[in-house]
Amino acid sequence: MKFVKKSKMELSDILVPDLFILNYMISLEAVDIKVYLYMLFLNKNQTEMDNATFAKKLCITENELSFSLDRLQTEELIVKTSQGFNIVDLKEIEVNKSYIPKMEPKINRVQTELERKRIAAAEAINESFFQGIMSLGWYTDIGTLFKNYSFSEEVMIALFHYCQERKALNKKYVYAVAENWYNGGVKTFEQLEEFLESYDVIQKIKQKIVKSLRLNRNITKYEEQYINSWIKDFGYDFAIIEEALKRTVTVANPTISYINGILNNWHKKGIKNVEDLKKLECDENKNVNRSNSRSSAKEIQNSKFKNYEQRKYNDLESFYDNF
């Protein structure tokens, strides 16, 4: 890395971009932060230094330095040149890609009602969840979320509230929750309320199933599909699912797939609830009893003929002589 030495003074200060602290530092390893800060120092003083000296100054190996430089490049904090590295101007990058320019009034441009509402939503998120110091990057992400998922402003604010309540207000979790809501057909706040109510019910049923089957693991995505089908497609509540679970008491290591077979069979027979199931089983028992009764009557009839003792005629000639 090459820098031209400008001054020997070591009593000045180094400016660390707020954007680095807010958007990058939390995801970097400790050695990466050391390297980046020392690069700021070298850049300020325009100092020339080779890799070996650089590593020695930070008490790290050259391999660690090399890996750290690669990671900083991946994060787009530095750019490799023929003479060394340039430190990226984070402010310029954020301003260029930020959603703020799209949200600020422009000359000869009339904002639509939708844009005004989204601007208000972004500002509400800033004030409510970031104490008024939300980074430019979050504005960009809010714009992307609006564009990709077509959420209403109320849903967007609810998204950040939901993530904050779970102490997971980070971009990865926010996007994961947004994707889940979108796949659940959520766009309006009314749809969100219905989705969350249904989601809570499904989660509770899943927990009860896992507990009943004594599964010492998380259920797989395929097993989740089974359970979602029982609830959403069949319209089954836990009461009837529990009836299926009771049928496994004599089965060694019953699986969710086994339960699915039982419930599928009931669904094909038109069973919608426990009352339907009891009626079906009652009718089946009656049919079995009728069948058993007919079988018993037939057996009795057969036994009468079997027990009949045929008369024996020893003197047939004398018998006919009487006529």
Q: Which DSSP string do the residues of 185-238 spell out, in sequence order?
A: T--SHHHHHHHHHHHHHHHHHHHHHHHHHT-SSPPPHHHHHHHHIIIIIS---H
- Note the pLDDT of residue 6: 44
Mean pLDDT of 176-204: 91
Indicate the pLDDT class of residue 149, thresholds 50, 70 and 90. Answer: very high
Which pLDDT belongs to residue 106? 46
H/E segment holding residue 67? helix 62-74
Q: Could you report the per-residue pLDDT of 11-25, keeping only the tens digit for each?
A: 677 888 888 888 788
Residues 210-218, mean pLDDT to the nearest whole number = 87
Query: CA-CA distances (angstroms) from residue 14 to 10, 11, 93?
Result: 10, 10, 20
Q: Where does the pLDDT of residue 4 fall: very low under 50, low under 70, confident under 90, or very high at 90 and above?
A: very low
Q: What is the pLDDT of residue 27?
A: 77
Which residues, in sequence order, are bridge partners of residue 80?
85
Residue partners of 288: CB distance under 8 A and separation at least 6: none
- pTM for this prediction: 0.49
User: Among 29-43, 209-223, 261-275, 301-315, which is the least confidently predicted range?
Assistant: 301-315
CA atoms within 13 A on the CB side of 248: 21
Can you name the residues that pair with 87 across neighbouring β-strands? 78
The mean-pLDDT minimum among 4-18, 105-119, 130-144, 213-227 falls in 4-18
d(CA 294, CA 80): 92
Instruction: Look over the chain and give the mean of its residue pLDDT values, rounded to a whole number.
Output: 82
Query: N- to C-terminal Cα distance for the chain?
Result: 140
- Asked if residue 36 lies in contact with residue 28, where contact means CB atoms within 8 angstroms, the answer is yes
Whether the Cβ atoms of residue 125 and residue 160 lie closer than 8 Å to each other: yes
| Amino acid type, 313 | Y
